[in-house]
Amino acid sequence: MATSSTSEAIEALAAEIGESVYIDVAKWHLYLNDAHLHTVLAERLFPLVSGGKTIQEDDVLKIVQSISVKLGGGKREVPLLDLLPMQCQVSLIDTLEEFQRNL
């Protein structure tokens, strides 16, 4: 894939993730595009999606776990995985699988 088409694909993946996955804070749903976390997540997940292999849930969750979210002006950092409800984890996997099928 050329660099521009790779960038476009990552942007498209980020848009899909940003609109379908949210973090839950005190029962408030903050979608990843509003939290500005969708692009970094898409950049890290894109190699899994574009690799042609079946997406493994464990691989996805390791990547999500590795992304730190700063809270309280940076006083505390929490892994993104800890902020995603189970239904959003499932939605993320579904989004990745659908995106991979459409590549």
> What pLDDT, in 10s, does the model give residues 43-77?
999 999 998 899 999 999 999 999 999 999 999 99
Whole-model pTM over 0.85 = yes
Residues 49, 55 contacting (CB under 8 angstroms)? yes
DSSP string across the chain: --HHHHHHHHHHHHHHHHHH-EEEETTEEEETTTTT-HHHHHHHHHHHHHT-SPPPHHHHHHHHHH-EEEEGGGTEEEEHHHHS-HHHHHHHHHHHHHHHHH-
> What pLDDT, in 10s, does the model give residues 26-41?
999 999 999 999 999 9
| Domain assignments of the chain as residue spans, ordered by start | 3-102
